[in-house]
Amino acid sequence: MCDLYTHFHSLLHTHHRKGTRCILGFSGGVDSRVVLELLNRYRTETQLEFLAVYVHHGLSANADQWQQQCQKWCEEKLIPFVAERVQLETGSGISLEASARDARYAALAKHVGEGDILLTGQHADDQIETFLLALKRGSGPKGLSAMAQHAPFAEGTLLRPLLQVSRKEIESYAFSHQLQWVEDESNADTRFDRNYLRHQVVPTLSQRWPSIYQSVQRSAQLCAEQELLLDQLLESKLAQAIHIDGSINIADLASESELLRNRLIRMWFSNQQQVMPSRDHLHRLWHQVALSQQDANPQLNLRGVQVRRFCQRLYLVKEHSDISHWQHSLTLGDALLLPEQLGTLTVAENQSGTIALTNEQLHQLYVVFNPEGLKAHPSDRGHSRKLKKLFQELGVPSWLRRRTPILMCGDCVVAVADLFVDKAFIGQGCELIWDKQL
């Protein structure tokens, strides 16, 4: 490896654009400690704006001390510093390491604005470990692509400037520049697969084959290139199958071979930023959901998401809380913040609107999500119907029927957002606005 700073400068200069920030995921370990030093040197030469973010997982009794130490190092160099405390997801069948990783990236994403660069300290040894873990799981080319040196992330880019640098080279740089860093005691626990590879397997491989770092990097890159090529070749097929609401057409998938169909489904998951389904998941998704009886309401529960079928299309539905019992008053002109990131709802004055409300009625407005027991009379229908039946007739998927805001006045349905206004309230003077953009 050439001079470490020259290598770092070249990579960052390629990706950084004027006016954007760099955000460093700063754990205080030797790798991120070295990146902090390199980034600070780059800042003095270019007036770069950057922020160091420490993510506190609460897994170690030393985490508070590490956070204080990281903050001290940043204060000494007048580097802006932020600490994020996260709550790890447990009991969902995922490993502690995966849960910590997901929580860390979610916390870091909050600080990455449009065009910003997130820098992390993964290095060549991490790459070998990731590659071998994917091999152990029986992953295909996508999993064996391991980690990319740069990739889209949040509204910006994730850059791993040390990915081609070995841990030995990083430690050598730290020693030569008299840097201090924190040591996570859990890194020595070989009960964790990654630590077992780090301490027992990779040293043996690198001793036998010193070029193993370059070989793994090359194999990962070749796998990544093959994945990218397949995506490019199938992009038009996927676009043809995808509906405007993000669902995918079952008929389009059924017309393809099993191999091609599975590839399109994986691409669909990737486009919606979901964890890749396993081969078993793909089989169950197709046979238990896509091909289930027409009158069934099938679903497949995966990590953080459900695969559902409606009107011969498959949907990826993220896990959400039950808001059936939620209700809130609504004041004319005020934007009501809805739960579960469902946006805002406003009753606004508008002489061209389709809702007529008296002054007395305006003071009785409230919003609910539970259609149970409610009836309404859309203006284009001959009589009133239960909301449950109207949702079916209007093609509202079952999982959205308790996530669609219902405007009430006393015991009467005034309107169902995005669907209809009740005949008794048809007129002018007001409009109902559901802004789903948050």
Assigned CATH class of 242-318: mainly alpha
Bridge partner list, 329 = 366
Specify the residue for token string 């691409």. Answer: 267
Judge contact between 323 and 401, C-beta under 8 A.
Answer: no
pLDDT at 1: 46
**How many residues does the structure list for the chain?**
438
Q: What is the DSSP letter of 77?
A: T
pLDDT for 2 equals 53
Spans of all domains in the chain: 4-214, 242-318, 327-435
User: What is the token pair recorded at 110?
Assistant: 């909050």
Rounded to a whole number, what is the largest CA-CA distance in the chain?
Answer: 84
- What SS3 state is found at 109? helix
Instruction: Output the CA torsion 279→304→335→114 (10° steps).
Output: -70
Amino acid present at 285: L
Instruction: Identify whether the C-beta of residue 227 lies closer than 8 Å to the C-beta of residue 252.
Output: no
Contacts with 363 (C-beta within 8 Å, 6 or more apart), sequence order: none
132-177 pLDDT, tens digit each: 999 998 888 988 999 999 999 998 999 999 999 999 999 999 999 9
Q: What is the pLDDT along the chain (438 residues), one digit of tens a residue?
A: 458 999 999 999 999 888 889 999 999 999 999 999 999 999 988 888 999 999 998 888 888 999 999 999 999 999 999 999 988 776 556 777 778 888 899 999 999 999 999 999 999 999 999 999 999 988 889 889 999 999 999 989 999 999 999 999 999 999 999 999 998 888 888 888 999 999 999 999 999 999 999 999 999 999 999 999 999 999 999 999 999 989 999 999 999 999 999 999 999 999 998 888 989 999 999 999 999 887 778 899 998 899 999 989 999 998 888 999 999 999 999 999 999 989 999 999 998 889 999 999 999 999 999 999 999 999 888 889 999 999 989 989 989 999 999 999 999 999 999 899 999 999 999 999 999 865
> Annotated binding residue at 219?
no
Rounding to the nearest 10 degrees, give the CA dihedral for residues 394, 398, 400, 402.
100
28 assigned binding-site residue = yes
* Extended strands (E) in 260-343: 299-302, 305-310, 313-318, 327-329, 336-337
Is 352 annotated among the ligand-binding residues? no
Closest CA to 377 of 426, 432, 324: 426
31 is in an annotated binding site: yes
pLDDT recorded at residue 11: 93
Q: Is 398 annotated as a binding residue?
A: no
User: Nearest to residue 179, comparing CAs of 4, 24, 36?
Assistant: 36
Query: Residue 92: what pLDDT?
Result: 57
Could you give the 3-state DSSP secondary structure of residue 434?
Answer: strand
Check residue 242 and report its DSSP letter. B
Asked whether residue 193 is marked as a ligand-binding residue, the answer is no
Strand-pairing partners, residue 50, are 22
Strands (E), 324-437: 327-329, 336-337, 344-350, 365-368, 375-376, 385-386, 406-409, 412-416, 420-421, 429-435
CATH 3.40.50.720 assigned to domain 4-214? The reply is: no
- What pLDDT score does 391 carry? 93
